[in-house]
A = this chain, B = another copy of it.
Amino acid sequence: MSENFIHQSMSIIVEDAIKKATDVREKVCEWRSPEQLKELLDLELRDGAESESEILQRFKDAIRYSVKTTHPRFFNQLYAGMDPYSMVASFIIEALKPSLYTYEVAPVFTLVEEAVLKKMMELIGWKDGGDGIFNAGGSMSNMYAVNLARYRCCPDIKENGLSAAPHLVMFTSQEVRFLKWKMIPSALEEQILSAKSEGAVPFMVNATAGTTVLGAFDPIDEIADICEKHNLWLHVDACWGGAALVSSKHKHLLKGIHRADSVAWNPHKMLMACLQCSAFMVRDKTSLLQRCHSARASYLFQQDKFYDVSYDTGDKSVQCSRKPDAFKIWLMWKALGSRELEQRVDRALAMARYLAQEIKQREGFRLLMEPEYANICFWYIPPSLRNLPDGPELWGKLHKVAPVIKERMMKKGSMMVGYQPHGEKANFFRMIIISPQVSRQDMDFVLDEIHNLGKDL
Instruction: Give the top 6 A-B pairs by smallest Cβ distance, nearest first.
Output: A136-B136, A43-B115, A17-B95, A306-B407, A163-B167, A49-B337
Residues of chain A in range 425-440 having any CB-CB distance to chain B below 8 Å: 427, 430
Are A9 and B88 touching (Cβ within 8 A)? yes
A61, chain B: closest CB distance, angstroms: 8
Question: How far is B31's CA from A106's CA once the two chains are assembled, in angstroms?
Answer: 11
Q: A10-B14, A44-B115, A84-B5 in contact; A94/B274 too (CB < 8 A)? A: yes
11 A-B pairs (CB sep. < 8 Å): A17-B91, A33-B308, A34-B110, A46-B338, A49-B336, A59-B331, A69-B99, A79-B97, A79-B321, A140-B318, A306-B403
Work out how many copies of this chain go into the complex: 2
Question: How far is B68's CA from A104's CA once the two chains are assembled, in angstroms?
Answer: 11
Are B212 and A13 touching (Cβ within 8 A)? no
Contact residues in B for A304 (Cβ distance below 8 Å): 400, 403, 427
Contact residues in B for A112 (Cβ distance below 8 Å): 41, 43, 62
Are A339 and B268 touching (Cβ within 8 A)? no
Q: Quick check: is A144 within 8 A (CB to CB) of the other chain? A: no
Q: Quick check: is A380 within 8 A (CB to CB) of the other chain? A: no
Contact residues in B for A77 (Cβ distance below 8 Å): 99, 105
Residues of chain A in range 114-169 having any CB-CB distance to chain B below 8 Å: 114-116, 119, 135-140, 143, 161-163, 165-168
Q: Quick check: is A373 within 8 A (CB to CB) of the other chain? A: no
Task: Give 1 or 0 for each of A29-55: 1 = CB within 8 Å of chain B CB.
Answer: 101111001100101111111101011
Are B37 and A18 touching (Cβ within 8 A)? no
Task: Give 1 or 0 for each of A317-338: 1 = CB within 8 Å of chain B CB.
Answer: 0111111000100110111111
Q: Quick check: is A419 within 8 A (CB to CB) of the other chain? A: yes
Task: Name the residue of chain B whose CB is nearest to the CB of A213.
Answer: B299
Beyond known contacts A33-B308, A276-B321: 7 more, CB 8 A cutoff: A37-B107, A65-B107, A67-B104, A67-B106, A97-B274, A139-B320, A163-B166
Contact residues in B for A59 (Cβ distance below 8 Å): 88, 92, 331
Q: Quick check: is A285 within 8 A (CB to CB) of the other chain? A: no
* Interface size bracket, A side: 35 or more
Contact residues in B for A91 (Cβ distance below 8 Å): 9-10, 13, 17, 91, 94
A59, chain B: closest CB distance, angstroms: 6
Task: Name the residue of chain B whose CB is nearest to the CB of A305.
Answer: B403
Question: How far is B433's CA from A369's CA once the two chains are assembled, in angstroms?
Answer: 59
Q: Quick check: is A179 within 8 A (CB to CB) of the other chain? A: no
- The contact of A339 among B48, B98, B109, B420, by CB within 8 Å, is B48
Q: Quick check: is A418 within 8 A (CB to CB) of the other chain? A: yes
Contact residues in B for A110 (Cβ distance below 8 Å): 34
Question: How far is B332's CA from A49's CA once the two chains are assembled, in angstroms?
Answer: 9
Contact residues in B for A307 (Cβ distance below 8 Å): 33-34
- The contact of A333 among B45, B331, B418, by CB within 8 Å, is B45
Q: Quick check: is A103 within 8 A (CB to CB) of the other chain? A: yes
Are A95 and B18 touching (Cβ within 8 A)? yes
Are A108 and B62 touching (Cβ within 8 A)? yes
Task: Name the residue of chain B whose CB is nearest to the CB of A17.
Answer: B95
Task: Name the residue of chain B whose CB is nearest to the CB of A86.
Answer: B94
Are B69 and A105 touching (Cβ within 8 A)? yes
- The contact of A137 among B5, B115, B319, by CB within 8 Å, is B319
Q: A84-B5, A320-B137, A337-B50 in contact; A107/B67 too (CB < 8 A)? A: yes
Are B96 and A17 touching (Cβ within 8 A)? yes
Q: Quick check: is A6 within 8 A (CB to CB) of the other chain? A: yes
Q: Quick check: is A362 within 8 A (CB to CB) of the other chain? A: no
A414, chain B: closest CB distance, angstroms: 14
Task: Give 1 or 0 for each of A279-321: 1 = CB within 8 Å of chain B CB.
Answer: 0000000000000000001111010111110010000001111
Contact residues in B for A66 (Cβ distance below 8 Å): 96, 98, 106-109
Q: A44-B115, A49-B335, A321-B276 in contact; A430/B37 too (CB < 8 A)? A: no
Q: Quick check: is A450 within 8 A (CB to CB) of the other chain? A: no
